[in-house]
């Protein structure tokens, strides 16, 4: 897994479909629910008549952490949910999850750093689980 400034990511030999399936399972095992789903490939085709490789954005929410974050700083809602993507780039399947430390760090509100660290670790584990052998 490659930590990046805004995202944790892996490149895997899994098919796109299998990576999406495993991503959903791994997020659920970490206590996340998927609240939103955006099929970027289909949206670009419909709205722009542009063909692009598969790309999905899953809006994942960890309710206990979201509650803590919103209690600490109500404006954090504009940074929720945690986005996780699965895409095909240059023939490889890529899984990314936002780094909540970067996102929540912009608010500098008391109590958010701990929430961001906990959620970040859970997202890292979920991303890593996608590539692990099942």
3-state class of 97 per DSSP? strand
- For residue range 41-73, what is the model confidence (pLDDT) as tens digits? 999 999 999 999 999 999 999 999 999 999 999
Confirm whether pTM is higher than 0.75: yes
Q: What is the pLDDT of residue 45?
A: 97
- By C-alpha distance, which of 134, 133, 66, 123 is closest to 96? 123
How would you classify the pairing of strands 7-12 and 33-39?
unpaired
Count: domains in the chain: 1
pLDDT exceeds cutoff 70 at 17: yes
- CATH number assigned to the domain comprising residue 29: 3.30.310.70
Beta carbons within 8 Å of 111's beta carbon, 6+ residues apart: 68, 69, 71, 72, 73
Residues pairing with 67 in the sheet: none
- Note down the domain range covering 20: 2-131
């Amino acid at each position: 897994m490659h930590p990046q400034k805004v995202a944790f990511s892996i490149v895997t030999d899994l098919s796109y479909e299998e990576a999406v399936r495993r991503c959903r399972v791994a997020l659920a095992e970490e206590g996340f629910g998927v609240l939103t789903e955006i099929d970027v490939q289909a949206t670009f085709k419909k709205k722009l008549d542009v063909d692009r490789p598969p790309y999905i954005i899953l809006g994942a929410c960890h309710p206990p952490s979201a509650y803590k974050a919103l209690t600490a700083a109500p404006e954090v809602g504009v940074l929720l949910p945690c986005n996780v993507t699965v895409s095909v780039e240059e023939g490889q399947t890529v899984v990314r999850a936002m780094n909540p430390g970067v996102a929540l760090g912009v608010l500098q509100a008391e109590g958010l750093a701990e929430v961001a660290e906990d959620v970040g670790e859970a997202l890292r584990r979920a991303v890593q689980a996608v590539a692990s052998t099942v």
